[in-house]
């Protein structure tokens, strides 16, 4: 399924993942309230629920991004899910159970998914600058490299390797 823009497709997937995460957290709250009588499952059970929500959201994002032909879908989904979590934990933790987070989380996830898609695409298309992988012209033409000595003894450093008796006591 082709989409008009990489960022639009990633943003759509991010918004869907954000809504799914909000829904699953809401269901987790209701489940904890029904079982323990408290709206949150603190400790181990709450952490397990949170990890399950994050794993499911990553997988959902991956499959949505693959359906929309977004390159590097797994990486985009991972960044698109973890970045909103980090932002929420750093800046929005006090308001995490507010009603307006139903709107904030999908928008934040959409922005993070779109940004992750753009970032991974730019990193993938950027050539490796500063790495000279081609040998110098005279070496490529069959000559020897003038900066390296003809033998290893020229630098007067001991050579250690398998079977060498140098350096063994």
First-to-final CA distance of the chain: 68
Tokens of 98: 């507010």
pLDDT of residue 41: 75
Shortest CA distance to 24 belongs to which of 117, 139, 109, 90? Answer: 109
pLDDT of residue 31: 86
- pLDDT tens-digit profile, the chain (169 residues): 545 588 899 999 999 999 999 999 989 888 888 888 776 777 778 888 889 999 999 999 999 999 998 889 999 999 999 999 999 999 998 988 889 999 999 999 999 999 999 998 888 766 656 555 555 555 555 555 555 555 555 556 666 666 656 555 5
pLDDT of residue 137: 58
CA distance 68 to 3: 6
Task: Report CA 53 to chain centroid distance, whole Å.
Answer: 17
Q: Domains of the chain: which residue ranges?
A: 6-124
CB atoms within 10 A of CB 142: 6
In the chain, what is the greatest distance between 2 CA atoms, to the nearest angstrom?
81
Tokens of 111: 């922005």
CB atoms within 10 A of CB 12: 18
Give 78: exposed, middle or buried? Use CB within 10 Å, 0-12, 13-18, 19+: middle
CB 9 within 8 A of CB 49: no
pLDDT of residue 29: 84
pLDDT of residue 146: 56
pLDDT of residue 81: 96
The radius of gyration of the chain from alpha carbons, rounded to an integer in Å, stands at: 27
Q: Three-class SS of residue 149?
A: coil
């Amino acid at each position: 399924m082709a989409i008009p823009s990489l960022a639009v497709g990633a943003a759509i997937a991010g918004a869907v993942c954000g809504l799914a995460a909000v829904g699953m957290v809401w269901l987790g709250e209701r489940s904890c309230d029904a079982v323990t009588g408290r709206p949150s499952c603190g400790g181990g059970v709450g952490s397990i629920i949170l990890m399950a929500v994050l794993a499911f959201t990553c997988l959902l994002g991956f499959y949505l991004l693959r359906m929309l032909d977004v390159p590097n879908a797994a990486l985009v989904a991972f960044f698109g899910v973890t970045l909103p979590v980090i932002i929420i934990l750093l800046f929005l933790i006090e308001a995490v159970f507010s009603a307006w987070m139903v709107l904030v989380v999908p928008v934040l996830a959409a922005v993070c998914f779109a940004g992750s898609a753009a970032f991974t695409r730019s990193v993938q298309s950027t050539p490796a600058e500063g790495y000279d992988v081609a040998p110098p012209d005279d070496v490529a033409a069959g000559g020897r490299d003038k900066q390296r000595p003809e033998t290893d003894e020229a630098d007067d450093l001991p050579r250690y390797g398998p079977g060498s008796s140098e350096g063994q006591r």
